[in-house]
């Protein structure tokens, strides 16, 4: 038993990653668990953490979730299309087993916190983390805090102008051709008839993808003015996207944001994750640490 560790849960739609580590993001132990029903998945999560005497646990969860501390359903997964998890009291399930502070936020907010604390935006009090994968999601650290308001952001579903040459109708069940509907991995596959990874050498695929991502980044920049933008997720493994996105963002803004980070050093402004695929799980450790410190105050 070691009592200097935090627990972290990255709860995704296909798998849960659980880890035990410290506030430097050093991971001592971790496990992957398939996402099935809460009845099947959660006992495995709990068993894993039972091996440790933890100070706190941080959860970064798929959503939508309730992060409003004053709400009766605070800590719940809410209206998710994954029916077994709908209205699931995630935070309570952990608290009932471990009588320690629990931090709770979205998976992408956790990743943003990880990148801002220990990753590509380390030392900055502001960072936008975007994942382009099965869906598009984003989390933000603003003035040193995870962004929230009425609820957590849902940035993946913004509307963007369609490219005039793109005949694909879009894949979002709510909005059809929102950003996620046009640019997430499944949209790439549906438009071109192959998975992204098999299209690696098709220039037109990544030109169009960069166009849509750049349109979205332009909105995020104009609205949030983040100090750094971190792009992760499966689709961003296509590293040729980065220079295309850099150029398109500048073209779209057309000199409007006259800031050196944008006009001169955009390669250092829009970047891959510093923590690779560990942004979320690392962010969970930081969420745990923040929960621990808040309770101690």
Ligand X SMILES: Nc1ncnc2c1ncn2[C@@H]1O[C@H](COP(=O)(O)OP(=O)(O)O)[C@@H](O)[C@H]1O
3-state SS class at 205 = helix
Among 3, 14, 143, 258, binds ligand X (CB under 6 A): 14
Residue 264 has a CB neighbour count (10 Å cut-off) of 11
**Which residues, numbered 138-177, are part of the site for a second copy (CB under 8 A)?**
142-143, 145, 147-155, 157-162, 174-175
**Which residues, numbered 203-242, are part of the site for a second copy (CB under 8 A)?**
215, 218-227
Residue 212 has a CB neighbour count (10 Å cut-off) of 25
Pairing, β 15-21 against β 27-34 = antiparallel
Pairing, β 229-232 against β 127-132 = parallel
Among 21, 60, 185, 226, binds ligand X (CB under 6 A): 185
Binding mask 235-274 for a second copy (x = CB under 8 A): -----------------xxxxxxxx-xx------------
Q: Smaller CB distance to ligand X: residue 187 or 214? A: 187
Among 103, 196, 273, 274, binds ligand X (CB under 6 A): 196
CA 268 to chain centre: 20
* Nearest C-alpha neighbor of 113 from the set 275, 287, 230: 287
Instruction: Let me know: does 31 contact 14? Beta carbons within 8 Å.
Output: no
Please give the Cα distance from 245 to 249 (Å, whole number). Answer: 6
Residue 157 in contact with ligand X, rule: CB under 6 A: no
Please give the Cα distance from 164 to 151 (Å, whole number). Answer: 34
Q: What is the largest CA-CA distance in the chain?
A: 60
Among 122, 157, 163, 237, binds Zn ion (CB under 5 A): 157
Among 51, 53, 161, 197, binds ligand X (CB under 6 A): 197
Instruction: Let me know: does 179 contact 138? Beta carbons within 8 Å.
Output: no
Residue 156 in contact with ligand X, rule: CB under 6 A: no
Residue 237 in contact with ligand X, rule: CB under 6 A: yes
| Shortest distance in whole angstroms from residue 169 CB to Zn ion | 13
Cβ-proximal residues to 243 (8 Å cutoff; 6+ apart), any chain: 267
Residue 238 in contact with ligand X, rule: CB under 6 A: yes
**Binding at 3: pick from Zn ion, ligand X, a second copy, none (beta carbon under 5-8 Å per type):** none
| Shortest distance in whole angstroms from residue 198 CB to ligand X | 8
Residues contacting a second copy: total by CB under 8 A: 45
Q: Where does this chain touch ligand X (CB under 6 A) — which range of 87-95, 130-138, 142-150, 213-221?
A: 130-138
Q: Smaller CB distance to ligand X: residue 130 or 147? A: 130
Residue 69 in contact with a second copy, rule: CB under 8 A: no
**Which residues, numbered 214-233, are part of the site for ligand X (CB under 6 A)?**
233
Please give the Cα distance from 249 to 212 (Å, whole number). Answer: 10
Q: What is the DSSP letter of 119?
A: S
Cβ-proximal residues to 202 (8 Å cutoff; 6+ apart), any chain: 192
Distance in Å from the first CA to the final CA of the chain = 26
What is the binding site for ligand X (CB under 6 A)?
12, 14, 131, 133-135, 185-186, 195-197, 233-235, 237-238
* Site of interaction with a second copy (CB under 8 A): 64, 78-79, 126, 142-143, 145, 147-155, 157-162, 174-175, 215, 218-227, 252-259, 261-262
């Amino acid at each position: 038993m070691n009592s200097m560790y935090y627990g972290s849960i990255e709860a995704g739609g296909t798998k849960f990653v659980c880890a035990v580590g410290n506030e430097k993001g050093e991971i001592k132990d971790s496990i992957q668990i398939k996402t099935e029903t809460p009845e099947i998945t959660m006992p495995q999560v709990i068993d894993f953490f039972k091996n440790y005497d933890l100070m706190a646990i941080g959860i970064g969860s798929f959503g939508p979730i309730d992060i409003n501390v004053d709400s009766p359903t605070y800590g719940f997964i809410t209206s998710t299309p994954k029916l077994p998890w709908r209205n699931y009291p995630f935070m309570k399930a952990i608290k009932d087993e471990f009588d320690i502070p629990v931090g709770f936020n979205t998976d992408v907010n956790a990743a943003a916190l990880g990148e801002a604390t220990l990753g590509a935006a380390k030392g900055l009090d502001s960072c936008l983390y975007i994942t382009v994968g099965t869906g598009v999601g984003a989390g933000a650290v603003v003035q040193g805090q995870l962004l929230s308001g009425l609820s957590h952001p849902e940035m993946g579903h913004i509307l963007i102008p369609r490219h005039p040459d793109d005949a694909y109708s879009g894949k979002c069940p709510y909005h059809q051709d929102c950003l996620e509907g046009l640019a997430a991995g499944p949209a790439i596959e549906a438009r071109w008839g192959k998975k992204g990874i098999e299209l690696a050498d098709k220039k037109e695929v990544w030109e169009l993808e960069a166009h849509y991502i750049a349109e979205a980044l332009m909105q995020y920049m104009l609205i949030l003015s983040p100090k750094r933008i971190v792009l992760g997720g499966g689709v961003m493994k296509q590293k040729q996207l980065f220079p295309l996105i850099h150029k398109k963002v500048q073209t779209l803004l057309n000199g409007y944001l006259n800031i050196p980070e944008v006009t001169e050093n955009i390669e250092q402004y829009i970047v891959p994750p510093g923590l690779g695929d560990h942004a979320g799980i690392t962010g969970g450790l930081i969420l745990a640490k923040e929960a621990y410190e808040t309770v101690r105050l």
